[in-house]
Amino acid sequence: MNTTPLPLGPTPSERLNRARADLRMGLPVVLTGDGAALAVAVETLSPARLMALAALGPLTLALTARRAETLKARAYDGDLARIRVPKDADLRWLRALADPADDLMTPLKGPLQTLREGPTDLARTALALTKSAHLLPAALLAPLSGPTPEGLTTLTCTEATRALTSEATLAPVAAARLPMAAAGMGRLHIFRPDDGAEEHYAIEVGTPDRAVPVLARLHSACFTGDVLGSLKCDCGPQLDAALTQMGVAGAGVLLYLNQEGRGIGLANKMRAYSLQDQGFDTVEANHRLGFEDDERDFRIGAGILKKLGFSAVRLLTNNPAKVRMLEANGITVTERVPLHAGLSRHNAAYLATKAAKSGHIL
């Protein structure tokens, strides 16, 4: 008789997804590593929970080095800064440091006391979790020396980092024929990652031959451009142009990856748009929010291509970084096919910034 217990408990990857959901709801999660702490996202923190956390001991605010640079706070830890939270700090003070919306109206928020000694693993993991939850990358940490509060999700820094940096396993969920105005008859495939994140889609145009490089496009979801026809970017026209080109060629594959706003999520993308209204370019806006230029995971696209049986592509892109990322993940790119569409007076400055700062070939 097999006496091995059934694995009914959550795996580290599943607990990671629980932690994302908890942070989005304003619940703290328990992180253990070099010590232990309760970590909560500043964006969703409530006054009542702030008061409860403050009762546990000195609070620390973790910010990315990008956000710290805007605040003129020293990032002694390299990629992050740990700010000592004053005892009288309230939620308004914390959110002013986390959210750059009102930076120009209240530019002086200091002096800020930055920690330069002690372990950084708890703060670094907390920031990575808030990013993966598509929240502002700002986390409040309270020391935990007693028993773990009942019902909270617990993660070690090691297992959280491993789960966050591991390549998700993508499972095919469903596929069906789909006639399209731009590309003619095709087939839509749905892929679901095992880490509980958003599903991704592959649109197969015609019947591509797996033995030759396929005309391919990695297209990141853009609700504003693809659905609303926004003129601030060129995403919608590029999507249509790519499908049309595949239809003319008679075959192709377009991956529609749910990595809105270059991986920061739609809410943060709208925050970046608001900053652009204040005069910052797209890269500067991302940095002021605390993000890097591009937070996308291109391993997802390479993984889907492999699942579909493609090993070589002719890539429709103006971004050489996509070529390098695909090749680094086992997909041969035999040709970069330019995709010029959607330039207008509304997005000329945006596209110029992508060319100057992100290396796009326009």
Q: Using alpha carbons, select from 197, 201, 245 the residue that is nearest to residue 219.
A: 201
Q: Using alpha carbons, select from 199, 359, 217, 237 the residue that is nearest to residue 293.
A: 359
What is the spatial distance between Cα 80 and Cα 142, in angstroms, rounded to a whole number? 17
CA dihedral 277, 278, 284, 289 (to 10 degrees): -90
Which position has the token pair 């390479």? 302
Strand boundaries in 4-85, DSSP class E: 29-33, 35-41, 60-64, 80-84
Q: In what order do the strands lie in the sheet with 312-316?
A: 170-180, 184-193, 200-206, 251-257, 214-220, 312-316, 332-337
What is the spatial distance between Cα 130 and Cα 138, in angstroms, rounded to a whole number? 7
Q: Which residues are known catalytic residues?
A: 294, 296
Question: Cα 343 to the chain's mean position, in Å?
Answer: 26
Residue 15's SS3 state is helix
